[in-house]
Amino acid sequence: MNHYYHGSGSIEIKDVLPRSVRKNDQQAIEGWVSSLPPTQSRLWLVYVKSSKLFRSVVKEQFQIEAQEKPIDGIEIFLLKPRSAEKTSQE
């Protein structure tokens, strides 16, 4: 992560969803995404072999500010919570 980010942020490791879940089970993906640590600023998400459904669910809750080109199936996203958008507009 040092290549992408030079600040001091915590790293949280979560289990990867099984392939069948990340391709077909929207409710399970929503639960997984909702269990990410709460933040009012930005969050780096490193994920292995996401799916269109997974990215769609992530986009519902976060604005993707940056997405790096996948390397060996590993994807890196810089996310900003949509709740932070609403707060800044008020």
Across the 90 residues of the chain, what is the mean pLDDT of every consecutive 10-residue run? 60 75 88 87 86 91 90 89 65
pLDDT at 85: 61
Gap between the Cα atoms of 38 and 29, Å rounded: 16
Q: Are 35 and 14 in contact (CB under 8 A)?
A: yes
State pTM to two decimals.
0.74
Tokens of 49: 């072999």
DSSP structure string for 38-76: P-SS-EEEEEES--HHHHHHHHHHEEEEEEPPPBTTEEE
pLDDT in tens, 14-30: 777 887 887 889 999 99
Tokens of 86: 């609403």
pLDDT at 5: 61
